[in-house]
Amino acid sequence: MAQEDSAPLSAGPAAVTAVTRRDRLRAATTAEIKQTARQILVSQGPDAVSLRAIARQMGMTAPALYRYFDSHEELVKHVISDIYTELADGIRGAIEAADAETGGDMTAKVIAACSEFRRWSLGHTREFGLIFGSPLPGVHVQKDEITAEGGSQFGNTFFGLMLELWRKRPFEVARRRRDPARPARAARALPGGPG
């Protein structure tokens, strides 16, 4: 089989690289592996998502999956990231629709975001459990660059709403006055503290 390499379409700093047939097939297979893992997750639960089960359902061998993912944990992280991205896209879509319908009413946008999150959660209970339930061994959403990207998209959807709300209707935050006697009172309240 001849190897197809990506070839620049033009020279210079703005050169565009053509996607080869091999790259397209690899991307399609990667997407199919993740989709198969998700189907197994939904139908049988997280414990059933094994490389052997995925390979069997796809008509591949389990070792062949290592050409696409370094480990089972990496595959699961990609599935989690995809789920976060799907959820964030749905919530953003609901916010945009509410924005268009109401001319930017913040209450409608927040309700739309929360309603879409609830709708998705009730319709995707296994996926919800995977990303919001008990953490899986080896998967730390905030600490892993694969899952952090998708998790950030989800979190930033709500953060963006709160930031918009703050900009449209800021409220004053009362500053706490510093009480010079507070440290002494706190020390007295400690067990074994003075007096």
Q: Which residue has the higher pLDDT, 69 or 186?
A: 69
Residue-wise pLDDT for 10-39, tens only, equals 555 566 678 899 999 999 999 999 999 999
* Cβ proximity of 56 and 40 under 8 Å: no
Q: Which residue has the higher pLDDT, 174 or 72?
A: 72
Helix (H) or strand (E) segment spanning residue 192: none
- What is the arithmetic mean of pLDDT over 6-12? 53
Nearest-angstrom CA–CA distance, 94 and 157: 11
pLDDT value for 102: 96
| Distance separating the N- and C-terminal Cα atoms of the chain | 86
pLDDT value for 1: 41
Neighbours of 98 (CB within 10 A): 22
pLDDT value for 3: 43
pLDDT value for 143: 72
φ, ψ of residue 137 in degrees (nearest 5): -60, 135
Residue-wise pLDDT for 121-173, tens only, equals 999 998 998 888 866 666 666 677 788 888 889 999 999 999 998 898 887 77
pTM value? 0.73
Residue-wise pLDDT for 32-58, tens only, equals 999 999 999 889 887 888 899 999 999
The number of residues in the chain equals 195
Angstrom distances, CA of residue 56 to CA of 40, 50, 53, 74, 171: 11, 10, 5, 19, 57
